[in-house]
Every structure is written in structure tokens, then in C-alpha cells.
Structure 1
Amino acid sequence: MSRTRTRTPTSRHRRSWVSRLGQYALVLWVAVTVNFALPRLALGGPALVMYTGEGDPTAEQLAELGQLYGLDDPVLVQYGRFWAELLRGDLGLSTGHNRPVADVLLERLPWSVVLVVLGLVGAILVGALLGALAAWRRDAGHPDQDRALLVTVLALDAMPGFWIAMLLIAVFAAQLGWLPSYASAQLPDGGGAWLLESARRLVMPLATMIVTSIGTYFLLARASMSTVLAEPFLRLARAKGLPERVVATRHALRTALLPIVTNAAMAAGSLVSGAVVVETVFSYPGLGTVIADAVAERDYPLLQGAFLLAMLGVILANLLADLVYPLLDPRVRRTAEVVPA
């Protein structure tokens, strides 16, 4: 006879998470290393990339830049110094702002976090609900409603983000005068007036982010819901006499959200890149505007810091998806393991 015992949490579960954290650490190391290597692989060397003066630089000017940023040291010395400064939170000095890169980024970061997070949540909610509704109506014998939603969402998804942004400005700012057209204009000093005006200036950039991002989540939710609707557990739920609203929300929709959560984490990078266009059109004071200005001014230290921050955000988004996924799908939870005694 053999006995069994239950261990919670299991060693297998712990090993899985150690392995995942190791993979994320490896990705972070690769991202930081690539961030360090890019300017040094550029044609003409990093000193030429960082030169912001007019005309072609002289050899003396390049030598001065190399000495200022320590580019004359061996590459391994530069790499070690890069990591040491990074761990201290020192991202270098912005050549365009003449300020520490970390200060410039932290000043703009909250604006971009609000825009990207709300844009992602809004796109997931709107896209997933519309996609689930389209599949549900088709299953209920209303294919025309499904086709109408599909055509509308795909038409919006095909429109360029900058065109939608300009259209919103033309209608709601120029024609109707309901919303301000430039998010970077002077805001009131603190208090409720500052919060209200900031929210007004967020409306059009946020709407643009959501409209340009719902297509993927709509198609995922529509396909996933169509698959879920054919599952036996839904027929069992209906046989128990549960209302259709409960069957749709607690059973079908929850299961259909699983691929959307995974895709949301992977789409975080593209959403950040889309924010660059949106923020530039609306002069929104976030990281996207910083990146656009840094490209124009050849402010490479600031570009390095912004890209590093964006990569860190994508890694954290994927880690969050790993944490949320077991909450949506109990099948992937491994909180207990039966082990022979």
C-alpha cells in the first residue's frame, strides 16, 4: 500500500516560477546589453551619434565628446560602468535638456503610464465585449448583427492613428470647441481645476489609443467566444436553468478572455510605439513626445533611457499576465501536488 500526501505550494510550482523569473532576468539583461551596444555599433561611432552641433564635427570635438562620456575606455569598462550607473538610477545626462535623463523621464512618465494603461484597459474592454457580443448574437441566430460589428471594427482598425487623431481635433477642438487641442498647453496650478483640465486633455489621445487598438481584441474575443459557445459545459449550465446573462458573463466570457490576456501582454510594446504617434499629434507631455524630440535633437542618452524604460514596461506587462492568467483559468493553477509517500 502506498500513501499520498498533499503539499501546498508544491516544489514543482516553485521551480516553475524560479524558471520564469530567470527567463525574465535573461530578457532584461539582453535588452540592457542591446541598449548599450546600439550607439557603439552606429556608423561613425557613438561620439558622432551624440554630436548635436551644426555641420560636421571636427576630430577635436569628437575627442572631447569621447572624453566627456568615457567613450575612449575599453568596451568592457564602459559596459561595467553602464551597469553600475544603471543600478544607481543614473541614466546619464540629456544633451538636449542639459539635465539628468532620469529626471526628464520621471517627469513625463506618469502622463504616459496613464495614457497607455487606460488605453490598454479600454481597448481590451471595448474590443472584448464587442467581440463576445458579435459571437453571441451570431450563435443566437442574428448573423447580420455579427457582420455589422465586424465591418465597423475592421474599418476603424484600418484607419491610421494619426488620421483619427487629426479627425478628432478637427471635430471636437476646431469645430465644436469642446476639448483642447494641445495637451501640453499651460495647466492650472494644482487642485480640482488641474485635475479636471488634465482629464479633458486626456480624452482625445485616449480615444485615439482605444479606437486604433480594439481590432485585435475584437477578433480574438469573437473567435474565442465562438469556440467556447460550442463547449459542453455551457450546455450543462443552461440545463441547470441558469439565466443567459449568467451563462454569458460568468462562464462563456471568462473562458473566452484567456487568449486576450496573453495577447495584451505581448501587445504592450506596440501600444507604447503607438503612443509615440498619438502623443506627438496631440503634443501630449509623455514619453512619446520625449522620444520624438530626442530624435530631432539627436539626444541619444535620452533615447537610450526612454527605450530602456519602455522595454522594462513590456517585461513587467508580461510578468503581470503570468500572474493574472491562473486567476482566469483554474486549470493552470498548481497549488497542490499528490506525491507518493
Structure 2
Amino acid sequence: MNEKQLQTSGRRVFLLRLGRKFVQYAFVIIVALTINFSLPRLAPGDPLSFVIGSETANELTPEKRQRIEKELGLDGTVLEQYGRFMGGAVQFDLGISTKFGKPVTSVLGERMPWTLIVVLPALVLSPLIGIILGAYAAWNRGKKRDVGLLAAILTLESMPAFWVGMILIAVFGVTLGWLPTFGAAPMFKTDNWSYVMDVIRHLILPVATITIASAGTNFLLTRSSMLDTLGQDYMMMAEAKGVRKSGIIYKHALRNALLPVYTHVTMSLGILVSGAVVVETVFSYPGIGSLLFESVIARDYALMQGVFLMITIGVILANLLADLTYPLVDPRARIRKPVEGSV
């Protein structure tokens, strides 16, 4: 086979694998939508009672009950309801929120930016802090610095996110009075400096809470992977050749140790969105997490379905991102060109 044929064959294999990935993730989305659809119908009793409450449902007249069932998509047979639900999901029509009185997609679109400006900084800070401290602890294995860092990280890792948030509120919000303890500054209202600072001040405690709650996993992964890498023969050879300490840590050990950390970080993009539920509730932050809590309290089933679906899609997209970009980080995962003469 010539070079052109080898490249063509390699592209075909890549596109085939990419197509298989998309089919797999499309199947997962269909399963998630089906579970979302099935929740009220699998619950004991009448699905309408599950959505609006049994007492309210029992007091409805037949005419009102029929009207509400039609508004909520609970009229017709189960297969008809399922067809309407899946058709609406394909068209990004998730129904009307009973709490807010407008389309679910509109409510999600208003809340999503708030969650992103909290999750994205945490997604950068958490691995950055965890990787730096994990590499430092691994290089000083067995020393007081390593033991102290490990004890501190394990202590923080054992604390629930809501507890971390409450401690930060008590210290920096109540005792010191440095930062606001709840809510958020209005988004996109003005562009003056005082407004920017107000937004940042409202972000500090939620971002710090998510970062502290998730940095421990990155630290432990980096430390464990670094220890395994530092014990390899080529690392001992580099040290014997007189390579500087910084070169051994960052150019050799850390680059190889980052592979499992990278996988965790990419998958955390979806996990952090769901993890923000607790943090946003603690700080009364107007994001997707607090929206899920509000929809549960209000029994707004259409909105609950929308939030769960958004979280599911976030996790799936994060997995897809990890699958597509991992070969860029680890050359061993790249698709190899077929060897000339091979079958």
C-alpha cells in the first residue's frame, strides 16, 4: 500500500469509530429520555397525582382534569404520550413549566449562564490546584510535607459540599463580612467596574466551595499516578543522568501522570453541573442546580424532566469530548496506520 492509501484507510477507520461513538451516545440519550418519560407512570397511583399532588387531583372536576392532562401531555394512550414526548424533545420542546408559566427551554436558557460562570472557573481551578499539590506531594513522598498535604486533602474530601459552603459562609460572610452569602448580581445589566466587582464577589464563595469539594480527587489521582510514574526505569535513568528536578517532575513524570487526571477532568464537566445542585441551593444561586430544587418543591414535572435531561446531555457530551481528545494527550490511543503488507 502506498502512503495515500494508508492515509485513506486511517481516515476510514477513524470515521467508523467516530460513527460508532455517536450511535452509542444517541442510544444513551434515548434511554435517558425514556426513563424521564417513565418516572411519573412508574410511580404508584395516578401520574397526574404524582405531578400536582393527590389532594389537588382528587378535587378536580372531569373537565378540569382533562384540560390539565392535555396541558401536561398526560392525555391519550401511553404510546401516544411517548411519541409526543420524544417528538417534542427532538424539536427542543420540553413543555410548559407550571411554576413559571413559560416554556421549559426558556427557563433553562435563563438559568444555564449562571451555572456556567460558576462551574467553568471551578473546572479550571480544581484540576490546577489538585495537579500542582499532587505532583509536589508525590515528589516528597513519605516526608512531612506529603503526609500533611495528604491528611488535609483527605479531611476536605470527607466533608460534604454543603458543609464546606456553610463553613465558608460562616467565616467569610458572617464573621468577617467580606463577601455576600447568597444570591447573585443581575447579569448583563451594566458594564461598569463596580458591577463587575459585584458579580465576582458573589461568585467567590460558590466557586471556592465547588473547587474545594472537587480538588481532592484530582490531588489523589495525580499523586497516585505520579508515584507510579516516578518508579519507572526511564525516570530513574533520567535522574541518574543528572536531569534537573524540575525537568524530571514536569517534562517527564507529570506529562505521563496526567492521563488519568485528564480523563477525570473532562468527565467532571458534566458531573460538576449536577454537583452544583447542592452548592447553588446553599447559596441561593439562580442556576440549574437551584432550579432543580425549585422544580421538585413545586412538583413542576416538565421542568424536572428538562433539568435531568440537560444534566444527562452534559455528562454525555463530556464523555464524548474525552473520547475525541484523549488521543491528543496519549499517543498510544491514536489510531495506527495499517502496516504495509498487513491484512
Residue of 112, 116, 122 corresponding to 1:113: 116
Count of matched residue pairs: 336
TM-score normalised by length of structure 1: 0.90
How much does 1:204 deviate?
0.3
How much does 1:269 deviate?
5.0
Provide the secondary structure at the position in 1 that maps to 2:339.
strand
Residue of 115, 126, 129 corresponding to 1:126: 129
Which structure 1 residue ranges, 5 or more long, are not aligned?
none
CA contact (8 A) 1:169 1:181 kept: yes
Question: Is 1:147 aligned to 2:147, yes or no?
Answer: yes
How much does 1:331 deviate?
1.1
How much does 1:247 deviate?
2.1
Percent pairwise identity: 44
Question: Is 1:46 aligned to 2:56, yes or no?
Answer: no
* Aligned mates of 2:57, 2:181 — CA distance in 1: 38
* Aligned mates of 1:46, 1:65 — CA distance in 2: 12
Task: Report matched runs for 1:17-36 at 5 Å.
Answer: 17-36=18-37
* Aligned mates of 1:69, 1:339 — CA distance in 2: 61
Question: Is 1:225 aligned to 2:212, yes or no?
Answer: no
Which structure 2 residue ranges, 5 or more long, are not aligned?
none
CA contact (8 A) 1:51 1:62 kept: no
Match of 1:168 in 2: 168
* Aligned mates of 1:194, 1:336 — CA distance in 2: 55
Provide the secondary structure at the position in 1 that maps to 2:189.
coil
Task: Report matched runs for 1:291-306 at 5 Å.
Answer: 291-306=292-307
* Aligned mates of 1:291, 1:284 — CA distance in 2: 12
Letter in 1 for 2:232: E
How much does 1:332 deviate?
1.0
Higher relative contact order (CA 8 A, sep 6+): 1
- Once the two structures are superposed, residues 202-227 of structure 1 have per-residue CA deviations (whole angstroms, 9 ceiling, x without a partner) of 11001000111122221111111100
Which moved further from structure 2: 155-164 or 237-246? Answer: 237-246
* Aligned mates of 2:309, 2:100 — CA distance in 1: 18
Please give the root-mean-square deviation of Cα atoms over the aligned residues, in Å: 2.3
TM-score normalised by length of structure 2: 0.90
Which moved further from structure 2: 59-68 or 326-335? Answer: 59-68
CA contact (8 A) 1:291 1:306 kept: yes
* Aligned mates of 2:51, 2:195 — CA distance in 1: 37
Task: Report matched runs for 1:273-284 at 5 Å.
Answer: 273-284=274-285
How much does 1:251 deviate?
1.7
Match of 1:101 in 2: 104
How much does 1:261 deviate?
2.1
* Aligned mates of 1:310, 1:298 — CA distance in 2: 18
Letter in 1 for 2:172: F
* Aligned mates of 2:189, 2:166 — CA distance in 1: 28
* Aligned mates of 1:33, 1:145 — CA distance in 2: 51
How much does 1:194 deviate?
3.0
* Aligned mates of 1:108, 1:145 — CA distance in 2: 42
- Once the two structures are superposed, residues 66-124 of structure 1 have per-residue CA deviations (whole angstroms, 9 ceiling, x without a partner) of 23233221222222221221222211100001111111100010111222222232222
* Aligned mates of 1:296, 1:182 — CA distance in 2: 19
Match of 1:66 in 2: 69
CA contact (8 A) 1:119 1:209 kept: yes
